[in-house]
Amino acid sequence: MNAFPSLKLIDGKATAARVLAEVREQVQTLRQGGVQPGLAVVLVGADAASQVYVRNKVLRAEEVGIRSLEHRLPADTTQAQLLTLIDRLNRDSEVNGILVQLPLPQHVDEHCILQAISPLKDVDGFHSENVGGLAQGRDVLTPCTPSGCMRLLRDACGELRGKHAVVVGRSNIVGKPMAALLLQADCTVTMVHSQSRDLPALCRQADIVVAAVGKPKLIGAEWLKPGAVVIDVGINRIEEGGHSRLVGDVDFAAALPQVAAITPVPGGVGPMTIAYLLKNTLLALDLQQQAAHPERTPCLSPC
Ligand code: NDP
C-alpha cells in the first residue's frame, strides 16, 4: 500500500491514458473522413532495449487506430541504405510520421539521418528545423518526452505563467527542449547541468523542478522548496536489498513530504512519451495537410 497521500502524485499512467483516448477519438474522426494516419518506425540492429521500445510504440499506435509500418533492418545496414529508406518514407503519402529509433549503430551518422527526415514527418522533433522553430516559439513538432512533461505540469499547476522553473540537465532530447517549452509557457527558466555551481541552492529557488540527469536519487529534499512541483524524467536501474528496481533522479520518499506534487518513477513521465509520439503523428498529419492546403485552418494544437 502506498503510505503517501495520492493527491500529491502526478499520475502519468492515467494522464497518458487520457491523451491516448483523445488521440483515438481524433483518429476515428479522420478515418470516417477516409484518412488513416500512418507512423513508420525504423529500427536498425538488435539492441534489446530498442526492440522493446519499438514493440511498445507499434502496439500503442495500433491500439489507437494509427497504421504502424515497421522497418527492422540488420545492424550492418549502410548509411546510404538508411537514407534511401527515409527518402522513400518521406515521399510516401501514407506515412505521416517517421521515427528512427536511437541509438543507431556507430558506423551511421545519427545527425545526418535525423536531418534526412522531412521536418513535417519528424515526430521526434529532432530535425534542426523543428529545434530552431521551437526556439523561435513557432508551432512545430516538439520532442515527445518534454511535450508529455508539459501536459503533466499544466494538469498539476494550471497556470504556468510567471513560475520559476529549474531544468536539471541540458540534453538535446529532454533538457533543452523542456526549457524552451517552459519559456514558451511564460515561465522564468533556469537551466543547470554538470558544470553549474551550487545546484541545491539553484533548485531551492524553483516553483517547478524538472530533473533529466540519469543519476539515481541525485536530488534530495534539501534541494527542493516546500510546495515545489517536481517532474522526474530520470529512469535509473539500481540494486537495493537484493532486488533490482527503477528509480528517478529525485529521492522520491525524501522529497514527497515537502512538495506540492511529484511524478513517481515508474508511472510518471515514462507513459507520456509514447502518448505524445502518437499525438505528434496526428499533429504531423495536420501540418502536412496545412502545407498542401495553406488556406485551411489548423485543427490541432501541439501540447
Ligand atoms: P543525457 O545523459 O543526454 O544528459 C544528462 C544531462 O544531465 C547532461 O546535460 C549533464 O550535464 C547533466 N548532468 C549529469 N550529471 C549531473 C550532475 N551531477 N548534476 C547536474 N547535472 C548533471 O541524458 P538524457 O537527457 O537523455 O536523459 C536523462 C534521464 O532521463 C535518463 O535517466 C534517461 O533514461 C531519462 N529519460 C527518460 C525518458 C522517459 O520517457 N521518461 C526519455 C528520455 C530520457 P552536461 O551536459 O554538463 O554533461
Pairing of the two strands 243-247 and 38-44: unpaired
Give backbone dihedrals phi and psi of 210, rounded to 5 degrees, phi first.
-115, 120
36 catalytically annotated: no
* Domains 35-118 and 143-271 agree in fold: yes
CATH 3.40.50.10490 applies to domain 143-271: no
The active-site residue out of 124, 207, 251, 286 is 124
81 catalytically annotated: no
Closest residue to atom 4 of ligand 1, CA basis: 171
Domain residues of the chain, as ranges?
A: 35-118, 143-271
Distance 168 CA to ligand 1 centre (A): 8
Query: Domain 35-118 is classified in which CATH homologous superfamily?
Result: Leucine Dehydrogenase, chain A, domain 1 (3.40.50.10860)
Closest residue to atom 40 of ligand 1, CA basis: 270
Q: Is the CB of 136 under 6 A from ligand 1?
A: no
Express each pLDDT in 265-297 by its tens digit. 999 999 999 999 999 999 999 999 999 988 876
Express each pLDDT in 104-152 by its tens digit. 999 999 999 999 999 999 999 999 999 999 999 999 999 999 999 999 9
Closest CA to 141 of 150, 131, 152: 131
Alpha helices in 128-168 (DSSP H): 128-135, 144-157
Give pTM, 2 decimals.
0.95
> Residue 294 and residue 289: Cα distance in Å, rounded?
8
Which residue has better confidence, 289 or 241?
Answer: 289
Distance 186 CA to ligand 1 centre (A): 24
**Half-sphere exposure in the Cβ direction for 101 (13 Å, CA):** 26
Alpha helices in the chain (DSSP H): 12-32, 48-63, 79-91, 110-116, 128-135, 144-157, 175-184, 199-204, 252-255, 270-292
101 catalytically annotated: yes
